[in-house]
Amino acid sequence: MIKRFFLVLTFLIAVNASAEESLPDPLKLMERCKQSYQNLNDYTATFIKEQRLRGRLRKPETTFLKFQKPFSIYMKWIKNPDKGKEVIYVEGAHNGKILAHLGGVIGLLTPTTFRLEPTHPMAMGGNLKPITKAGLGNMIGALLAIYQLAEKNGDLESVCKGVKRHQGRDVYVVERTLPKKEIYPNNYAVIYVDKELMLPVFYAAFDDEDRLLEQYEYRDLKLNVGLTEKDFDKKNSEYKYPIF
């Protein structure tokens, strides 16, 4: 309840869209996000994740993320308790395994590179979804699919509320409400779409009791920075993978 109230209160304080500005239709906005993503080769960002697992809301996780199409991803945890943890997954490489090593004190005591299936319990610990579902492309695909399904079923209630400043940038604020049905992942969601980049940079979803289910945020998003294979190689000298 507190999280949803805070989002609504922040929105009421910060919205600054002018009366003359024509706000986009939410479904068309999601389609524009898909088009924008198609123009990307790679990106980097600070990624913040917060999820409810088995009824309990976990502490936020903050990572530095690199992504290159078709699907190469590197993540480094930059805040405690997992600070120093690194994960690499390259589609079609390493026999489909994740390359990971732990952070924190446990990482010091266990200097090992783990090779895990994306759905292995150790890889899924603290995650609603496997790493193969990570990234902006998957977020946009999931959002658009739900919008299209709800639109088809006559269930879609979504509105672009205006424009606000978020992390120093202008974003469209979109609210989405869906009926309580098994075919939908949640009842209420708030989405911020960067007005210039035309990409979703914030997503928060709630259940019918206003409890936060999941929240994802991309900060300091940089596009087409020229990532190479070295950025997804555990031998990269900037990374801290164990040498044995």
pLDDT of residue 132: 97
Asked whether 66 and 226 are in contact (CB, 8 A), the reply is no
174 Cα distance to chain centroid: 16
Cβ pair 162, 173 in contact under 8 A: yes
In the chain, how many domains are there?
A: 1
Which residue shows structure tokens 């993540």?
A: 75
Give the CATH number of the domain where residue 207 resides: 2.50.20.10
pLDDT number for residue 3: 60
Structure confidence at residue 1 (pLDDT)? 46
Amino acid 6: pLDDT: 56
pTM, entire model: 0.91
Residue 242 belongs to some domain of the structure: no
Measured between alpha carbons, how far is 131 from 214 in angstroms, rounded to an integer?
15
Interatomic CA distance for residues 188 and 179, integer angstroms: 9
How confident is the model at residue 223, as a pLDDT? Answer: 98
State CA 83 to chain mean position distance. 19
- Which secondary structure element, helix H or strand E, spans residue 5, and what is its range? helix 2-14
Residue 142 is predicted with a pLDDT of 97
Tell me if 187 is assigned to some domain.
yes
Report the chain's C-alpha Rg in angstroms.
19
Whether 243 maps to a domain, the answer reads no
The pLDDT, as a whole number, for residue 113 is 93
Q: Judge whether 195 lies within some domain.
A: yes
Look at residue 81 in the predicted model and tell me its pLDDT.
Answer: 79
Domain membership flag for residue 41: yes
Residue 161: domain span: 2-16+24-47+60-232
In a domain, 52, yes or no: no
CA-nearest of 242, 221, 241, 243 to 88 is: 241
What does the alpha-carbon distance between residue 71 and residue 116 come to, in Å, rounded to a whole number?
Answer: 17
H or E stretch including 11? helix 2-14
Per the CB < 8 A criterion, the answer to whether 211 and 46 are in contact is no
Q: pLDDT tens string for the chain (244 positions)? A: 456 655 655 555 556 544 446 899 999 999 999 999 999 999 999 999 999 998 899 999 999 999 999 999 999 999 987 899 999 999 999 999 999 998 876 666 677 999 999 999 989 988 999 999 999 999 999 999 999 999 999 999 999 999 999 999 999 999 999 999 999 999 999 999 999 999 999 999 999 889 999 999 999 999 999 999 999 999 999 999 987 6
118 in any annotated domain: yes
Is 244 among the domain residues? Answer: no
Question: Which DSSP string corresponds to 15-38?
Answer: B---TTPPPPPHHHHHHHHHHHHH
